[in-house]
Structure 1
Amino acid sequence: MKFLRLPLVLLCGVLGLAGCSMHQPVSLYQLDSGEPGQPKQSAGMAVVLGPVSIADYLQRETLLQRQADGSLTAATDGRWAGSLSADIDQLLVRQLAWRLDSQRVVLAPASTGFTPDVQVLLSITRLDSGTDQPAILDAQWRLLDRRGQVRDNRIVHLEQQHQGSETAQVQAQGQLLQKLAEQLSIALKPLANQPAVVEEQQPKKAAPVQVRKEPEKPKIPLATPIRTDLEVFRF
């Protein structure tokens, strides 16, 4: 009986260790949006943020780590708490609304009837960091005015040092996005006082020239010979 019980105890121990290894705690991270204040102006600058596109490699739950050779590896115990893309959108909206002091900063697509002063087209091509690598943000924006014309086009590269832990890295990435919002708000403010768009009226067609006609003269009926049955006699 003792011989049979020993393998059973070892088996339980192995299964227990396997269960522990399968249930290792995973840290969930979310970008830090700082402490943006509440905008006071309900009729401030109207801004539509988006579409906001992020690089394909960022569209995943795993927290990525940049290595010294430039490669990326997935963190074994770090995940994003939800959608990174949604976190970026909300962080930028709150930061811009605070810095512009406007309640009229919305994400694209805007609701029907909302006429923006500026639309921001934003592309984020890099946002990552590593234990020994700084947090780096590469982005590009285009600002469209009320007429849909490009008023500003800028490529941005930002870096932020950190202490190396995953928590410090996520904080550094959030700080980079806050700096991006600060630069973007500076570029937006000069476009707040745009002249109203006046619809161009189509040129009216010239009225046709009326030619004065001379009054028509009364027509005189032509004389027609009248036949009679009288006979003329000559003597």
Structure 2
Amino acid sequence: MTRKNSRFRFTALLALACATLLAGCAGSKTPTVYYSLYAPTLHGAEASMTDGDISVSVGPVIIPDILKQTRIATGGADGSYDLTEYHRWSGDVDRDLARALAEHLAQALGTQRVSVFPWDQDFTPTYQVLVDVLFMGGEPGGEAILSARWNIINKAGKEGSSTRRIDLREVSAGPDVAQWVAAQQLNVEKLGEAIAQTISEIRK
């Protein structure tokens, strides 16, 4: 075999190996999974009050800068976070959290007159809920942690405002990010219930 043919054969085999490797990589590509902070069927608390006249707006919701992206941030206990590549939020975290809280408040307060800030001109809320997320993190396989402060403003100005804080911890059912998200969804539901309780106390 001539040197020229031998070199040609080597080049062809190298090209075939590269093509096979690329095909294998393409076939094993990890799919990206998207999540929301709202889970409609968790343990479903009964309405603490039923008042068709009450209307609530949620937001603005303020979140840490590390959460202002689609990649899910876990960790944070020591000030450092891990950003997942193939597990992402389905939208803006602040808007998603506001919508989740609005749905939980609708159930807990027994009203469908809920909205997310900024609300439509035709919507006049009885109460506006401002939420400041102080921390959202934790480890898959460990705990999902959510700390938040909220301020409830009476838009009629009769009862003033009320500010509260809560620190929530929910154990993840397993080591997967999906299980950590499920635990965080429970934290969001509990936050909604706590806000609903505050509104109930203000109205008494």
Q: Is the 8 A contact 2:38 2:96 kept in 1?
A: no
TM-score for the superposition, normalised by structure 2? 0.80
Match among 12, 19, 26 for residue 16 of structure 2: 12
Percentage of matched positions with identical amino acids: 25
Q: Does 1:128 align with 2:119?
A: no
Residues 8/165 of structure 1: CA separation in 2 closer, same or farther (3 Å cut) = same
Deviation at 1:111, TM superposition (A): 2.3
Structure 1's 24 and 17: CA in aligned 2 closer, same or farther, altered over 3 A? farther
Residue 126 (structure 2) pairs with residue 117 (structure 1):
yes
For the pair shown, the structure with the greater C-alpha radius of gyration is 1
Structure 1 residues 5 and 82: CA distance shift in structure 2, 3 A: farther
Higher mean C-alpha displacement, 27-36 vs 51-60 = 27-36
CA distance in structure 1 between the aligned counterparts of 2:90 and 2:151, rounded to whole angstroms: 29
Q: Secondary structure at the match of 2:197?
A: helix
**Does the residue aligned with 1:184 lie in a helix, a strand or coil?**
helix
Q: How many residues align?
A: 192
1:168 to 176, 179, 197: 179
Give 2:35's aligned amino acid.
Answer: Y
Superposed counterparts of 1:73-112, under 5 Å: 73-112=82-121
1:182-227 CA-to-partner distances (Å, cap 9, x unmatched) read 111111113346xxxxxxxxxxxxxxxxxxxxxxxxxxxxxxxxxx
Change in CA separation of 1:82 and 1:21 when aligned onto 2, cut-off 3 Å: farther
* Larger strand fraction of residues: 2
Look up the match of 1:33. 39
- Do the aligned residues in 1 keep the contact of 2:77 with 2:137 (CA within 8 Å)? no
| 3-state secondary structure, aligned to 2:136 | strand
Question: How far apart, in 2, do the equivalents of 1:26 and 1:117 lie?
Answer: 40
Closer/same/farther in 2, CA of residues 32 and 106 from structure 1, 3 Å limit: closer
The normalised TM-score by structure 1 is 0.71
Question: Does the aligned pair in 1 maintain the 2:138–2:144 contact within 8 Å?
Answer: yes
- Following superposition, the deviation at residue 12 of structure 1 comes to 3.3
Higher helix proportion (structure 1 or 2) = 2
Secondary structure (helix, strand or coil) at the match of 1:43 reads: coil
Q: Which amino acid aligns with 2:60?
A: P
Please report how far the alpha carbon of residue 113 of structure 1 lies from its aligned counterpart in structure 2 after TM superposition: 4.4
Structure 1 segments unaligned to the other structure (5+ residues): 194-235
Q: In structure 2, how many angstroms separate the alpha carbons of the residues matched to 1:65 and 1:12?
A: 41
